Amino acid sequence: MADAVSIFMSVGLSEQKAKETLKNEALSSTFKKAIEQVHRLLGSASIDKTAGTLLYNMVTRLKDYNRLSFLTKYIVTRKITSELQLSAALDFIKSHPQENMDRLEFEAACGVGVMVTPEQIEDVVELIIRKHKDQLLAERYRFNMGILMGEARTALKWADGKMVKNEVDMQVLHFLGPKTEADLEKKPKVYFYCLEFSNLSTSESVFEKLRENYKTEGYVVTSNTMNLLKKHLEETGGQVRSRFPPEPNGILHIGHAKAINFNFGFAKANNGICFLRYDDTNPEKEEEKYFTAIKEMVEWLGYKPFSVTHASDHFQLLYDLAVDLICRGHAYMCHQRGEELKGHNIPPSPWRERPVEESLLLFDRMRKGMFAEGEVTLRMKMVMEDGKMDPVAYRIKYTPHHRTGDTWCIYPTYDYTHCLCDSIENITHSLCTKEFQSRRSSYFWLCNALDLYCPVQWEYGRLNLTYTVVSKRKIIKLVETGIVRDWDDPRLFTLTALRRRGFPSQAINNFCARVGVTVAQTTMEPHLLESCVREVLNDTAPRAMAILEPLKVTITNLPTNKEVRVPDFPANEAKGSHVVPFSKTIFIEQSDFREVMEKGYKRLTPDQPVGLRHAGYVISQNGMCELEVTCASSDSVEKPKAFIHWVSDPLRCEVRLYERLFLHKNPEDPAEVPAGFLSDINPNSLTGIECALVDHSVGKAKVFDKFQFERVGYFSLDPDSTSEKLVFNRTVTLKEDPGKM
């Protein structure tokens, strides 16, 4: 094993990553083959870490191992030098069989030999800024700079992304000048809504748009549709009405944040209202804590429901409508068992043509509790878009309901309840994720079968993140096995977990806005969400100084203890400051001192002074037994190569550092993780530091208050904190780690 670890480390993997790789036998074997080819091509020479990282990424993503040798050669010979080129190469190989592949076409597709000069980057960025100059001048630094980056990256596909960003930043600064006080004012809150559905022309009112809901694809128009729509418009005044309808059987996650933003944002953009409706039709899985947490998270994201409703509010009306459905000949009582109704090839029910009177009698007996669970169901006579026949409308559950107690022993299903509650509440737009498209026909059919007003249903793609799981069942498994503490463990991507970790709600909303609304499912990398978090915290989290691995330093010539005023926001000192003590004994990070000078090291050594941030002093080592230093005013000595943070007379605190919970992008994918998601846990996902030090400015912080610990990262006060001991969670690092794989 030690030999294999050394081999993997020889191409740039860390020891930890090398050991993790060895746990995957197939991956290890393929990676060894790639490294063997490297040695055949280079002999005794070695490849750098960048090429080694590309090699590793190639092996983990390659599906056709017959191409291993081909791609390895391109990486080793520096023809493929970036992740962008590698992704293009893998995509090309995936769509081109080996026997039909044209090498020149391949090289063109992945940018082999393409050199983008700094002059080319400069020229392209200049043209793009010129194109947007009017909007840039009008919005200044509130302009979405991502537009400039996106156009530049499109025009300069194979350019170095860092060079492009630096050029954009430099030219924007040159064009607009430094930020003014107005530029530094707090950004207005971003409200998220779907442009396609909300932007109406000046000649087209919302009222007029709603009158044409019946033109939506798949909408069933009956002889009474226009009368029902007219009545609906009279009752609502042409108001847009949406709803967010979660099941209260789990905690909301990042995917729900998109749904919340879309439903509430769409209504707000059209001067409408949005309901929070609990789909509480399964008493076996519902708990009070989920009802409370869902409402709390909706409000935390900045949205206030027009009304909080429950499907159970309408249980009696839903039952009456079911009786009506039977009377109209559109539903029947069926004795097929649950296992017979699973899947799509369900055998036709022998009770489908049962007389209406008989079904009414049996439904009444079912309501009175005269059947066992699973013995009978009420089914609707219709075929869904996915081919599933006669979905269940009512089933028996002898479990007390959270709100109605033992009043009911039969409960409606989603397929029956959803559209009817929308109709009852005069919802105009049922916005739901793509997997519900197969239920659109049943949605329209049921409203029309009962001759009720029918809203429209629009579907959009779900939002997923890599390196996580959001399934309720799997999160429960993580909790039960002790891998995470609870639903709000900061390594999860539930909304309560993100709040506990310190993610601002505004950052989550901004992330949803950037992702946008598409029909296709969206899978994003966590670092994109973290980038939104940094943007918000950079403007809102006051600075403090904290030491995670303390090293005691004695300043031998400091005449008296002092106080130092530290700005809360160094880029805008007008936003306030705080005072910290400065005494002869201070603490610095262990990593900020080395006894032996190394090339490129800019902090404290016996031969190299270092500045103390905000203190106005430069310190130099003069003691040999312990770390003793002398200080001098920074005005009286040569400017040091670096300034470090420090604390004096600090508070002790606990700090929790979080990394990704899973090692692979898709822990639920058997191709990536054959042994299942529980085998993919990152052993270093949580590091606890019990004896960290922090300055007194955070002493009165409240739970969830956020700070930037200078040079360390963004942190949030955890609910585990007490008056005796503060506990901080690292929200994100100051910058994205480019080496994270």
522's tokens: 């969206």
Please, which residues have CB within 8 angstroms of residue 449's CB and are 6 or more apart in sequence? 325, 328, 330, 380, 382
Q: Where are the alpha helices (DSSP H) in 337-467?
A: 356-367, 414-424, 440-449
597: tokens are 């000078």
Token pair listed for 674: 């054959």
Q: Residue 171, class by beta-carbon neighbours within 10 Å (0-12 exposed, 13-18 middle, 19+ buried)?
A: middle
Query: In sequence order, which residues have a C-beta less than 8 Å from that of residue 482 and are 6 or more positions away?
Result: none
In whole angstroms, what is the distance from residue 385 CA to residue 436 CA?
A: 10
* CA 311/CA 279 separation, integer angstroms: 5
In this structure, the strands spanning 241-244 and 273-278 are: parallel
Q: Distance between CA 258 and CA 277 in Å, rounded?
A: 16
Give Cα 57 to chain centroid, integer Å.
23
Yes or no: say if 681 and 482 are a contact pair by the CB < 8 Å rule.
no
Comparing C-alpha atoms, which of 617, 614, 622 is closest to residue 639? 617
Q: Considering only CA atoms, which of 214, 102, 125 is closest in space to residue 173?
A: 125
Tell me how far apart the alpha carbons of residues 723 and 213 are, in angstroms, rounded to a whole number.
57
Burial of 264 (0-12, 13-18, 19+ CB in 10 A): buried
CA distance 271 to 221: 27
- The CA distance from 566 to 585, in Å, is 18
Tokens of 713: 């990262």
SS3 336: coil
Sign of CA dihedral 324, 408, 426, 267: negative
**Each residue of 490-515: b (16+ CB within 10 Å) or e?**
bbbbbbbbbbbbbbbbbbbbbbbbbb
Secondary structure of 536-596 in HEC code, one letter for each residue: HHHHHCCEECEECCEEEEEECCCCCCEEEEEECCCCCHHHCEEEEEECCEEEEEHHHECCC
Query: How far is residue 692's CA from residue 681's CA, in Å, rounded to a whole number?
Result: 26
Q: Say how many C-beta atoms besides its own lie within 10 A of residue 204's C-beta.
A: 11
Cβ–Cβ under 8 Å, residues 511 and 536: no
Query: Residue for token digits 């396609």?
Result: 196
Question: Is the Cα dihedral 184, 185, 190, 196 positive or negative?
Answer: negative
Residue with tokens 């769509």: 95
**Which of 731, 333, 685, 263 has the alpha carbon at shortest distance from 478?**
685
**Residue whose structure tokens are 């030098």:** 81
Alpha helices in 14-117 (DSSP H): 15-22, 25-42, 49-61, 68-76, 83-95, 103-109
List the one residue out of 428, 112, 104, 119 whose CA is nearest residue 266: 428
Half-sphere exposure of 29 (CA within 13 A, CB side): 4
Active site residues: 247, 462, 472
